[in-house]
Amino acid sequence: MTMERTTFQGSGEYVASEELMSAVNIAIQLKKPLLIKGEPGTGKTMLAEAISKSLGKELIIWNIKSTTKAQDGLYVYDTIQRLYDSQFGEAGVDDIAHYIKLGKLGEAFKADSQVVLLIDEIDKADLEFPNDLLWELDKMEFYIHETKETVKAKERPIVIITSNAEKELPDAFLRRCIFHYIDFPGPELMEEIVKVHFDRLEENLLKQAMDTFYWLRGIRDIRKKPSTSELIDWIRALQLGGIAPEKIRQELPFIGVLLKKDEDLNELKKRR
Amino acid sequence: MFTPFFYILKAKGIEVSLTEWVTLMEALDKGLSNSSLTDFYYMGRMILVKSETDFDKYDRAFQEYFQGVHSEDEIPPQIMEWLDAGGDDEERMWDEDENDSLWTKKEHSDDPDQVRRKLKERLEEQHTQHDGGNYWIGRRGGSTFGNAGRTPGGIRINGRTGMRSAFQVIGEERYRDFRLDKALNTRQFEVAFRRLRQFSARLDVPRTELDLDKTIDSTCSNGGYLKLEFDKPRKNTVKLLLLFDSGGTMMPFSSLCNNLFKAVDKANHFKDVKIYYFHNCVYNKLYNTPECENGDWIDTEWVFKNLDSDYRVIFVGDAQMAHEELLGVNGNYRAGNGGLPGIEWLRLFQRKYKKAVWLNPRKHDNVAALEWLESELLISEIFPMYKLSVQGLKEALNKLMVSR
């Protein structure tokens, strides 16, 4: 515990496996972006929140959508506003800097102290998107053509990038990242995770629910396997519904919380 | 330092770049592996391997390079069994307070070599199962060796939580399922199909779409006077013709084909998708449904006339026709042949559609050596043939995208 301030140890609300913790710490030490992949619902996005909390650093989230362009993250030159203002002779029209708006990456660079930057679901964007950010993530700086200004990070942000593997990321981009694949948690880790989310939870209910959950995940023909977050919702539903634990496996109450596809529900019916 | 490891990784098919290797050396230099083999295993993996599909390869390379270390860690099967016994009595064996006191009392042996040496000695001494306690190898105790114990710097044998020991993980081959040569679910097929796109922006089409951003820019630089800018529409121009074999020998692969079908069905980025079915081989009729009922069909000639040669064609079938079915003029036992043997119909497809591939769920590697696979050999000479797996599909789609 010599580097208390800079090492990540998980947090009160987030249970991380040791492998994940060491990946985070190594990424921080090597000053490289950490790329996180894993099944949906394994807490990829929550990781950044947990890091920001446990290290006491501000969190900046850049949500990537299919239309997001790399430029959006750096800065946007609001030409329309400028055109509009000029029609009415507003003050400040000749000052271009007035119309430069920093994106999330720009914000992270401009911050006075080190921040945690989450680039969420990078695979949603166009195939070339990650390539357009290579220089910026490497050098942690970019150039604003309109104002001839270079924005350079004062403190290199801790960059966490998540991906759902919808698209393959370019090799050049991958080479610069530290990679971690979040495994689906096994029963022991899962128990810990679930307990973090509940103040009071009956042991028997938890055990029955978990058994049923892993049994469901083990059925080969089920297409969309239920995830951690769905398990938590389900246990909450069971708790609120006052379901007797011994009935869980038999009756599978509120099963719609776990299985969302018709095919999967039919598959389950066949087995009962 | 570990340069041979670098080459073993390369030999196993992991494309480690020099940048990544230097990063790993830097990490070692900073002492981030804590001089532990297990930490080194994870650190190497997170820096050098960028896809879970390659974890298995990494494991094998790691095993090869560090083999010598492995043999020293070897645990006799008998002791493995005691440690594995686990199960119901685990809770009773575990005492939180006792553990805490152990944690503070215990002298920490941090030198891994020393720990490993001790383990070896202890293995030679021990002859019975021990749970709890501080010395013998056992479960939930304060001894340096055993399962679910909590001695810092100790060796964990076959445990379940915490950092998994490197060889333990390798032994499980947990990442087998991720390997690319396995056929997998719809989603992965869908992802693969995204490769199949060609944007009209790169083609020679008229600029018909108003480019708002450019218009604004131009208008601004034009002193506020409107100046319109147009661009080529950005649409996928790929058209796809999919032909499924629905014959009896394809039955074992119905769920695989179903996944492929769904993936194509869901992929809404194609300009046009046409799907037809055939029974064993293509003749003068193509069926509209997988049931292949006589009457519910269209003429193959109709396809040639109406689907232009821009269509990319994918055949899905096991290419296991009988000799007669492929080469005979009367080979089609269900309906007429239309005057040509099956193979000639396939050649007509080849002539009309420049970009066509064959996906085979059963593809054999040494097809030329296996006489009874004559039809597979003949067809693979007409169409490039790939295995119906994620990797095979990727290769096939790449083939469809390159211009000849």
Please tell me if residue A141 touches chain B, with a CB cutoff of 8 Å: no
The answer to whether residue A1 sits within a structural domain is: no
- Count CB-CB contacts under 10 A for residue B384: 14
Read off φ and ψ for residue B5, nearest 5 degrees. -60, -40
A129-181 pLDDT per residue, tens: 888 888 888 889 999 988 888 989 888 999 999 988 766 788 888 889 999 98
Distance from CA of A234 to the nearest CA of B (A): 25
What pLDDT shows up at residue A108?
A: 92
Q: Which residue has the higher pLDDT, B215 or A167?
A: B215
Listed residues A182, A197, A214: the one ending a domain? A182
Closest residue of chain B to A30, computed from CA coordinates? B27
User: Does residue B372 carry a pLDDT above 50?
Assistant: yes
The answer to whether residue A33 sits within a structural domain is: yes
Closest residue of chain B to A175, computed from CA coordinates? B20
Helix axis angle for A203-218 and A187-197, nearest 10°, is: 130
The answer to whether residue A13 sits within a structural domain is: no
Domain shared by A37 and A167, yes or no: yes
Supply the mean pLDDT for chain B: 72
Domain shared by A178 and A192, yes or no: no
A203-241 pLDDT per residue, tens: 888 888 888 888 888 887 777 788 888 888 999 888 888
What pLDDT shows up at residue B361?
A: 85
Confidence class for position B402, pLDDT limits 50, 70, 90: confident
Listed residues A137, A161, A182: the one ending a domain? A182
Regarding beta strands B230-231 and B209-210, do their DSSP bridges make them parallel or antiparallel, or are they unpaired?
A: antiparallel
Listed residues A148, A182, A216: the one ending a domain? A182
Name the one residue in this structure whose structure tokens are 């006799």: B76
Chain A residues touching B261 at Cβ < 8 A: none
Residues 6+ apart with CB under 8 A from A95: none
Domain shared by A201 and A143, yes or no: no
Domain shared by A33 and A121, yes or no: yes
Confidence class for position B119, pLDDT limits 50, 70, 90: low
What pLDDT shows up at residue B160?
A: 37
Are B49 and A167 in contact (CB < 8 Å)? no
Are A167 and B191 in contact (CB < 8 Å)? yes
Helix (H, G, I), strand (E, B) or coil at B276: strand
Domain shared by A49 and A110, yes or no: yes
Cα gap B243→B353, rounded to integer Å: 13
pLDDT-wise least confident of A92-106, A187-201, B85-99 = B85-99
| Residue-range domain boundaries for chain B | 3-71, 76-157, 239-401
Domain shared by A115 and A71, yes or no: yes
Domain shared by A28 and A145, yes or no: yes
What pLDDT shows up at residue B2?
A: 82
Question: Domain range holding A214?
Answer: 187-271
A79-129 pLDDT per residue, tens: 878 877 877 777 777 788 888 899 999 999 999 999 999 999 998 887 778
What pLDDT shows up at residue B306?
A: 87
- Count CB-CB contacts under 10 A for residue B301: 12
Domain shared by A147 and A214, yes or no: no
B289-339 pLDDT per residue, tens: 877 888 888 888 888 888 888 888 999 888 888 888 888 887 777 777 778
Region B183-194: mean pLDDT is 65
Are A79 and B17 in contact (CB < 8 Å)? no
Q: What is the pTM of this model?
A: 0.58
CATH number of B239-401: 3.40.50
ipTM above 0.85, yes or no: no
| CA of residue B36 relative to chain centroid, distance | 30
CATH of the domain at A128: 3.40.50.300
B285-300 pLDDT per residue, tens: 888 887 788 888 888 8
Q: How many domains does chain A have?
A: 2
Rounded to whole angstroms, what are the CA distances from B70 to A128, B43, B118, B168, B171?
43, 18, 15, 10, 11
Domain shared by A204 and A178, yes or no: no
Greatest mean pLDDT among A99-103, B149-153, B228-232 lies in A99-103
Cα gap A39→A36, rounded to integer Å: 10
Q: Which residue has the higher pLDDT, B139 or A251?
A: A251
Distance from CA of B277 to the nearest CA of A (A): 24
User: Does residue A10 carry a pLDDT above 90?
Assistant: no
Domain shared by A95 and A159, yes or no: yes
Region A167-196: mean pLDDT is 85
Cα gap B70→B68, rounded to integer Å: 5
What pLDDT shows up at residue B47?
A: 92
Domain shared by A193 and A176, yes or no: no
Region B376-401: mean pLDDT is 85
Distance from CA of A181 to the nearest CA of B (A): 6
The answer to whether residue A38 sits within a structural domain is: yes
Please tell me if residue B197 touches chain A, with a CB cutoff of 8 Å: no
Q: Which residue has the higher pLDDT, A5 or A120?
A: A120
Confidence class for position B118, pLDDT limits 50, 70, 90: low
Q: Which residue has the higher pLDDT, A163 or B251?
A: A163
- Count CB-CB contacts under 10 A for residue B339: 11
What pLDDT shows up at residue A34?
A: 94
- Residue ranges of alpha helices (H) inside B16-172 are 18-29, 37-48, 55-65, 67-73, 77-84, 90-93, 96-105, 112-125, 166-172
What pLDDT shows up at residue A63?
A: 92
Please tell me if residue B186 touches chain A, with a CB cutoff of 8 Å: yes
User: Does residue B72 carry a pLDDT above 50?
Assistant: no
Closest by Cα among A101, A108, A39 to A72: A101
Confidence class for position B95, pLDDT limits 50, 70, 90: very low
Q: Which residue has the higher pLDDT, B306 or B135?
A: B306
The answer to whether residue A249 sits within a structural domain is: yes
